[in-house]
Structure 1
Amino acid sequence: MAMAVSLNWIPPTFTKKANYGAHSTEPARPCAFSLQNSVTCPYEESNCNRKRRVLLLGVGAITATLLPGPATSLLAQEIPQNYRAFVDIPDGYSYYYPSDWREFDFRGHDSAFKDRFLQLQNVRVRFIPTDKKDIHDLGPIDEVVYNLVNHVYAAPNQMVNILDMQERTSDGKNYYTFEYELTSPNYASASFATIAIGNGRYYTLVVGALERRWRRVRNKLKVVADSFKVLDI
C-alpha cells in the first residue's frame, strides 16, 4: 500500500509513524519528499513487520525548505538519469539505485533492491552499533578491506580477489569503497562495498552481480556504491 499526496497542501512538518503499535507513544518519524512534487510513503507489510520505507522518485531538485535538514544537501543535486534515490531519514543514510529495480526483503539488512529479472544483481544496506567515530578508527583501508572480504564476506569454500579500493570524503564523512570477486565451485560473483561510520553506527552497502555479467554492469553499479551517504540524525 502506498500513499502519494500533493505538495500543494502538505506542510513541511509532514511525518510518518513507524510500526510501534497502535498505542505507542513513540514520536512520529519524518517522511521524505518526492522530487516530482509529491510525498511518497510506500509501506509493504511482511513477517518481520519492517518500518515504512521512503522512495524518492524522479530527476531534479526540490526546495530545501520543504525537507528535513539531513536530506537537504542530497536532494539539492540532480539524481543521475535512470536512477532513483532511497533516503532513510530515521536511520540516517541514502543511496541511488537503478530505476527499474524493485524493493525486497534481504535477511539481516535494513533495505535492499534487486533487478527485476536477475535476483543476484542487487544492492543491500545494513548497520550495526559501534563506539567508533570514523571509518579511520578501524584502521588503514588495505587492512580493513582485506579482513572484511576474507573473513566476513567470503565463505570458507570461496576464493577471494580484491580488485580495487578507494577512499573518499563527503560532507566531512569518510568512506571506504572497494571492489572484489568471490569464486566458489558453483558460481562466481563480483561486488562493490562501501563502508562508513556515523550516528553511532557502522554502515555497509554492498552492490553486486554474477561475475559473468560484471563487465557489462560494473559502471552502472559503481554509481550505486559511490552514492552512499551517511546523514546526520
Structure 2
Amino acid sequence: MAASSLSLNWVSTTSCKKLNLPHSKELPRDAAFCLRNTITCSRETASNDESNCKRRLLLLKIGALTASASLLPASPLFAEEIPKNYRAFVDSADGYSYYYPADWREFDFRAHDSAFKDRYLQLQNVRVRFIPTVKTDIHDMGPMEEVISNLVRHRYAAPNQVADIMEMKEKTVDGKHYYTFEYELTSPNFSTTSFATIAIANGRYYTLIVGANTRRWRRYRELLRVVADSFKVLDI
C-alpha cells in the first residue's frame, strides 16, 4: 500500500492492482493496468543521467496510462463524473472504490488496506479495511441501529472515550446495501468526529472511516461526507 520511491538504485515494477484516477477520468473496473517496461539506474549513474532516467520513467508511466485510457472501453464504475477537487481510488483486486480530496496523500495506516490524509492535518484522513466474513449482506449483522450502536460504543471507542452517534442511514446501490453513520469520540484531551460506511460483499466485511478533529468538523463536514457516500464495493 505504501507509495513507491525512487533512489540511486531502483527498478520500476509492474503494478496491476490499484488505480488512482484524477478528476473526470475513468477506467473499467476489471482493467489490469500494468507497467511492463523496466528502466534501471545504477548507483554509479551521474546526477544528470539519473534525472534523465527518472524523467523517462515518469514519461513512460504517463504514456501507458494515456494509452490504457484510450484503448479500453468505457465503464459504468463511475457513471457520474468524479466531483471537482476529488480523485477516485479503485482497488479492483480487493473489490472497492471511493473518492478522496485531490490534495490528500497516501499513507500507511496500521491494519488497513488503503489510506489517505490531509498533508497538514494528521487527524483528517480516510482509511479502508476489510476482514473475512461468512455473512453475505450487511442486513445479516442485524438491525441498523443495533449494529451501529455496538460498533461505535464497543469497537471504535477506547475505554477512556465517550461515544455519541449523531446520524445513521441506509442506502442501496446496484443491489448492495450500505450503512453510513456519523459519530463523535471524545477523549479527556481531544475529540474526533467521523463518518463511517460499512458493507458486505465478496466474503468480506468492509469499513471506510473518514474523519477530522471535532473543532474543524463543521468546516469540513460536507467535504468528508462526499468521501463516505462515494464508497462502493465491487464484484471480484
Matching residue of 1:97:
100
1:154-173 mapped onto 2 (5 Å cutoff): 154-173=157-176
Q: Name the CA shift for 1:212/1:146 in 2 (closer, same or farther; >3 Å).
A: same
How far apart are the structure 1 equivalents of 2:88 and 2:29? 16
Q: Name the CA shift for 1:115/1:64 in 2 (closer, same or farther; >3 Å).
A: closer
User: Cα deviations across residues 48-88 of structure 1 (Å, max 9, x unaligned)?
Assistant: xx99532111215568997899x932233200011000000
Amino acid at match of 2:81: E
1:1-233 mapped onto 2 (5 Å cutoff): 53-61=18-26, 72-233=75-236
How far apart are the structure 1 equivalents of 2:108 and 2:16? 12
TM-score by length of 1: 0.74
Structure 1 stretches of at least 4 aligned residues deviating more than 4 Å after TM superposition: 60-69
The answer as to whether partners of 1:62 and 1:76 remain within 8 angstroms in 2 is no
Provide the identity percentage: 67
Which gives a bigger RCO, structure 1 or 2 (Cα 8 Å, sep 6+)? 2
- Gaps of at least 5 residues in structure 1 are 1-44
Of the two, which has the highest radius of gyration? 2
- Gaps of at least 5 residues in structure 2 are 1-9, 34-71
TM-score by length of 2: 0.73
RMSD: 2.5
The answer as to whether partners of 1:61 and 1:77 remain within 8 angstroms in 2 is no
SS, match of residue 18 in structure 2: coil
More helix by share: 2
How far apart are the structure 2 equivalents of 1:67 and 1:77? 22
Q: Name the CA shift for 1:164/1:65 in 2 (closer, same or farther; >3 Å).
A: closer
The answer as to whether partners of 1:60 and 1:77 remain within 8 angstroms in 2 is no
